[in-house]
A and B are shown apart, each in its own frame.
Chain A
Amino acid sequence: MKKRKKPTDIENIIFTTVNTIFMICLLVVTLYPILNTLAVSFNDGIDTVRGGIYLKPRVFTWANYKSIFSKGNMLTAFFISASRTVIAAVLNVVFTAMVAYTLTRKDYIFRKFITIVYVLTMYFNAGMIPTYMLIKDLHLLNTFTVYILPGLVSAFDLIVIRTFMRTIPESLVESAQIDGAGDVRIFWSIMFPLSAPVLATIALFCAVGAWNSWFDTFLYNGSSKNLTTLQYEMMKLLSATMNQSGTNAASMAARGENATGLQTPVSTRAAITIVASVPILCVYPFLQKYFVQGMTIGGVKE
């Protein structure tokens, strides 16, 4: 026994050392952009134009954040964003898992049909105008529903959950069937809880997707002040730092007004990034507890 253990010990030490070094490098490489963005966001905008800000602000200021929050309806926007994120994540996970469960039943007659209907949607896009017209015809313009309804049960999520559910031993389903359980019951009390890790993953994908999307607000709800999302408001500020239309800027300058409007694009952009991403970054650590090894199969192996 002892003889066999020795080489693995050495192997372990080498492995751990190499792994630790690698992880430190990874931390440096991925933390840098974040810290840099943070530093720039706290640096005076005019000073930032000179460049050369790395890890700490040269001329500290709160002004970039203040100018973002002076825009008024940020609180409503945050509430709308948070609601759509939670609702989208929960409904998507439940419904997608439900459809995915039916696809794991090999004898289900519509299995192939449903799969094809969904899979194809991943590879075509009808285009912006036709989709807009559909939303308009369904009277979903300027509603909160438009944030949730069109995206319910997406093909990618469906395939991912289905693939995971297939790894759950079929014997569990069979024994439940013998006990007289129907499909709804089998899904809800066996398959759903057993798929926790993948459902947590999908919940995260949906939440991040919902939180980050702004294009639907732009197309469908742009004129409803109390339905705009945080990302949309941020996007507006962001485009203000990107495109100053030439003709108007020149004319404004001639009048002695400040032509460039937002004078401090780089710093404002950084502050926008921080405001828009910090809330959603906090979600992941909470979901991580579902990624603990062995909580599924091991747990049900009687």
Chain B
Amino acid sequence: MKTRVKKTTDAARTKRGLLKRMSLQKQLIIMSMPFVIHRIIFSYIPLKGWLMAFQNYKPAYGWLDQEWVGLKWFKQLFSDAVFITDIRNTLAMSFINLTLGFVTAIILALLLNEIRNIYAKRFIQTVSYMPHFLSWVIVAGLVQNMLSTDSGIVNDILMKCGIADRPIPFLSDTKYFWGIVGASNVWKEVGWNTIIYLAAISSIDPSLYEAASMDGAGRYNKMLHITLPGIKTTFMMLLIMNIGHLLEAGFEIQYLLGNGLVSEVSETIDIYVLKYGIQLGNYSLGTVAGIFKSIVSITLVFIANRFAGNENKLI
């Protein structure tokens, strides 16, 4: 009881304080609020479309003139064993992508930073981020050619080195698929992913390095004890944000490299939605999958945020 009374008086006090603080923070409000309203209009108003999940949605009719079907699509989706497998595959591939993506990008950023010749550094950096601009169609084509059992370069090398005595069927064996997707992702995105770390490194105070040199620290030590901690905040920020994307593993590379022999590990949620939702004109099914992903994502982010240190909190 007591606490409740106290709270109301607190509220009354803060209410008066609120108006006063608002007038003090007039400039901050003008700087931010128009954009918040803008974001609400463009991102939140369309959310009324989530109603589709409970309808047999036909685009020819208005939002409320649809046939209501309750939880039919939710039931259909979650009773399909294939969809459950697809959730597993999505989680697995996205976890691999996340881990490999972070590790490789950080290592590459650290190593790039150690290149003394500024032109060599810029050249390598520019080249390494080029694959980002190739579409998945092209990347998948290259991967298929390289891994081919029929004079593909990888099998050629393996056989010449005596590691394999006959071509390994990389693309038809389920045990290689996730690895291939992970490697392709690294290849395409590693250079691109380093950019943000390089920006972080460039704001590290140079006097720290000078001091370390005075103490006789080598490059390896400086990298480990100054540069690496210097990008920790960036890493944590990206990590928390990306944990929310654990149900997004993309679908293009899986769609392009997948085939009947590996479909039990290659299909992702997005491929399922593409096949049974978009291609069949079933918008409701796609919306259900979308809502499911959002709920999981937001839960994950809030959990990650809770466990993050104070200075790393997203919210």
Interface residues of A (CB under 8 A from B): 4-5, 7-8, 11-12, 15-16, 19, 22-23, 26-27, 29-31, 33-34, 36-37, 51, 95, 98-99, 101-103, 105, 107-110, 112-127, 129-131, 133-134, 149-150, 152-153, 156, 159-160, 163-164, 166-167, 182-184, 187, 197-198, 200-201, 204, 208, 212, 238, 242, 266, 269-270, 273, 276-277, 280-281, 284-285, 288, 290-298, 301
Contact = CB atoms under 8 A, between A and B. Distances in A.
Given A119-B301, A130-B49, A159 B130 contact: no
A211 to B, nearest CB: 9
B38 to A, nearest CB: 6
Contact of B205 (A23, A31, A297): A297
Contact of B198 (A105, A184, A291): A291
Contacts of B283: 127, 129
Interface stretch (B71-79, B164-172, B286-294): B286-294
A122 B244 contact: yes
Contact of B203 (A36, A134, A167): A167
B260 interface: no
Given A125-B294, A269-B138, A95 B35 contact: yes
Contacts of B115: 19, 23
A125 B290 contact: yes
B203 A153 contact: no
**Residue among A12, A123, A129, A156 with max Cβ neighbours from chain B (10 Å):** A123
Contacts of B127: 27, 30-31, 34
Nearest to B291: A124
A163 B234 contact: yes
Contacts of B18: 109
B126 A284 contact: yes
A19 B114 contact: yes
**Residue among B43, B52, B138 with max Cβ neighbours from chain A (10 Å):** B43
B259 interface: no
A298 B205 contact: yes
A266 B145 CA distance: 13
Contact of B46 (A113, A127, A166): A127
A36 B219 CA distance: 36
17 contacts: A12-B218, A16-B114, A19-B114, A19-B115, A37-B138, A103-B32, A121-B39, A126-B47, A126-B50, A131-B49, A156-B241, A160-B196, A184-B31, A201-B199, A277-B134, A284-B126, A298-B205
Given A26-B128, A119-B301, A288-B125, A152 B202 contact: no
B155 interface: no
Contacts of B217: 8
Given A98-B32, A109-B18, A33 B199 contact: no
A277 B133 contact: yes
Given A109-B22, A124-B47, A127-B287, A291 B202 contact: yes
B297 A123 contact: yes
A205 B301 CA distance: 23
A259 B24 CA distance: 71
Given A31-B130, A118-B39, A197-B200, 14 more contacts: A19-B114, A26-B128, A30-B187, A109-B22, A109-B25, A110-B36, A124-B43, A124-B47, A159-B241, A183-B27, A201-B196, A291-B202, A294-B204, A298-B205
**Chain A contact residues: helix, strand, loop or mixed:** helix
A187 B31 contact: yes
A283 B124 CA distance: 15
Contacts of B35: 95, 98-99, 152-153
B294 A124 contact: yes
Interface of B: 18, 21-22, 25, 27-29, 31-33, 35-36, 38-50, 52, 59, 108, 111-112, 114-115, 120, 122, 124-135, 137-139, 141-142, 145, 187, 191, 195-196, 198-207, 216-220, 233-234, 237, 241, 244-245, 283, 286-287, 290, 293-294, 297-298, 301, 311, 314-315
A295 B32 contact: no
Nearest to B248: A123
A123 B294 contact: yes
B234 A4 contact: no
Given A101-B31, A296-B203, A22 B111 contact: yes
Contacts of B52: 127, 129-130
User: Which 10 pairs from chain A and chain B are nearest by CB?
Assistant: A130-B49, A126-B46, A277-B133, A130-B46, A123-B297, A183-B27, A294-B206, A124-B294, A8-B218, A11-B218
Nearest to B198: A291
Nearest to A132: B46
Contact of A37 (B44, B134, B207): B134
B32 A273 contact: no
A105 B122 CA distance: 35
A29 B131 CA distance: 10
A269 B244 CA distance: 34
Nearest to A121: B43
Contacts of B59: 129
A15 B133 contact: no
B130 A34 contact: yes
A95 B130 CA distance: 28
B53 to A, nearest CB: 10
Contacts of B141: 266
A212 B132 CA distance: 11
A127 B301 contact: no
Contact of B28 (A15, A19, A183): A183
Contacts of B130: 30-31, 33-34, 277, 281
